[in-house]
Amino acid sequence: MRSKSIHNFSAGPGTMAKEVIEATEKAINNFWNGVSILEISHRTKEWIKVMKETKRMMKEVMDIPEGYEIIFLGGGASLQFLMVAMNLMNKKACYLDTGIWASKAIKEAENIGEVKIIGTSKDKNYTYIPEYQIPSDYDYFHITTNNTIYGTEIREDIESPIPLVADMSSDILSRPIDISKYSLIYASAQKNCGAAGVTIIIIKKEILGKVNRKIPTILDYQVHILNDSMYNTPPVISIFTVNQTLKYIKKLGGLEKIKQLNEEKARLLYAEIDRNKIFKTTVLKKDRSIMNVCFVMEDHYNQLENDFSEYAFQNGIIGIKGHRSVGGFRASIYNAVTIDSVHALIKCMRDFEQLHIH
């Protein structure tokens, strides 16, 4: 069992709830009749029950309306960069460039058709969400709702005149969303849903079957829908962790409650960054993410960066190193990161300030 004094702010794979890890441990030892979940066929009725239940809970927790399908696939969000374009782009699509993940999605789409970038924040190393105008004659508009590396987030469900596609890998299940505004949502599990291995895809059925190209079988959403996500062997253990995460969210009181908790954690941490004389954030205030809190040292204190890393580590704080393309620090405060962990980080920042400013 994880030591109580460790506070994990890893960006992904990220912290998972203790309950989820315990339930998974149990299933590894004995899923059914002494058989481990690692050695059971995905065609058994015991497993199919878990698949069905996971889908049902997903629908319930995210309030997914009729007309949408949910599938669970391997290959990560990165495979979706390609599958989205393959399945939805007839000729041209538009994209919002808000960072490395968005750029990777753009790169894959460019191999399939014409891509128009309708906004980019590259000029300031993606520290804000750019302005944009959505044209009405494109096949879809692709956004990344939460930019894991830079700590920016689109936190409202935007209106789009064309089908809206969203990579929600690092903020799915962090707040209630209006699914009806989206045509396709995808998210790999390892940030906010469970263990690495599975990607959750929510698709409005009516947008499929409209492209002229021949889609390779394994990349065809319709094939996976038809086969209930079991065209080939699904990532069984990761789906199990998603199942347990959904149970945990339900027990906590659902996404409205989760949102309140997340906003409170983010509020406390940003307040400390704004107050503390050693730290600052370069992220535009209105675009600050409630999932990944990025911060750096005030120029004057830059030489203390390694000292702070070491100091934080001594205090049980792990996973706060910023992405190599940004530097500084990043505290990922996904659903499963407790408010106690946030308080521990804040205390550490305060104590560090005390040590260095007299």
Would you tell me which residues interact with ligand PLP (CB under 6 A)? 12, 76-78, 101, 144, 148, 167, 169-170, 188, 191
The catalytic position among 47, 101, 139, 204 is 101
Residue 197 has a CB neighbour count (10 Å cut-off) of 22
Considering beta carbons, is residue 139 or 167 the nearer one to ligand PLP? Answer: 167
Query: Measured from the CB of residue 188, what is the shortest distance to ligand PLP in angstroms?
Result: 3
Q: Least separation, in Å, of the C-beta of 78 and ligand PLP?
A: 3
Query: What gap in Å lies between CA 84 and CA 90, rounded to an integer?
Result: 11
Residue nearest to ligand PLP (CB): 76
Q: Give how far Cα 19 sits from Cα of 25, 58, 241, 252, Å.
A: 10, 18, 10, 12
Tokens coding 213: 């190209």
Contact 141, 160 (CB under 8 A): yes
Residue with tokens 């059914």: 32
Which of left, alpha, beta for 216 (phi over 0: left; psi -120 to 50: alpha)? beta
- 55, 97, 139, 191: the catalytic one is 191
Determine the distance from the C-alpha atom of residue 237 to the mean position of all C-alpha atoms in its chain, rounded to a whole number.
Answer: 19
Choice between 108 and 220, CB closer to ligand PLP: 108
C-beta of 210: minimal distance to ligand PLP in Å? 25
- Give the whole-angstrom CA distance, residue 203 versus residue 68: 5
> Measured from the CB atom, is 78 or 120 closer to ligand PLP?
78
Cβ–Cβ contacts within 10 Å for residue 51, how many?
19
* Smallest separation, CB 291 to ligand PLP (Å): 9
Active site residue 101: yes
Please state the closest distance from residue 196 (CB atom) to ligand PLP, in A: 7
CA angle 184, 188, 189 (to 5 degrees): 125
CA dihedral (226, 228, 232, 235) positive or negative: positive
Q: Which is nearer to ligand PLP, 160 or 170 (CB)?
A: 170
Q: Which residue do the tokens 């959904």 mark?
A: 246
Q: At what angle do helices 339-356 and 254-275 cross, to 10 degrees?
A: 0
Is 191 a residue of the active site? yes
Q: Helices (H) and strands (E) in the chain — how many of each?
A: 9, 14
Q: Which one, 191 or 265, has the nearer CB to ligand PLP?
A: 191
C-beta of 72 vs 101, nearer to ligand PLP: 101
Both structure tokens of 305: 């960066």
Distance, first Cα to last Cα, the chain: 40
Residue type (1 letter), 298: E
Q: Which is nearer to ligand PLP, 99 or 328 (CB)?
A: 99
Give me the helices (H) in 179-334, please: 221-226, 236-252, 254-275, 305-314
- Select from 349, 355, 286, 329 the least CA-distant residue to 149: 329
Taking the complex as a whole, how short is the minimal distance between the CB of residue 186 and ligand PLP, in angstroms?
A: 9
- In angstroms, what is the minimal distance from the CB of 304 to ligand PLP? 28
Catalytic residue among 97, 139, 167, 220: 167
The residues carrying an active-site annotation are 101, 167, 191
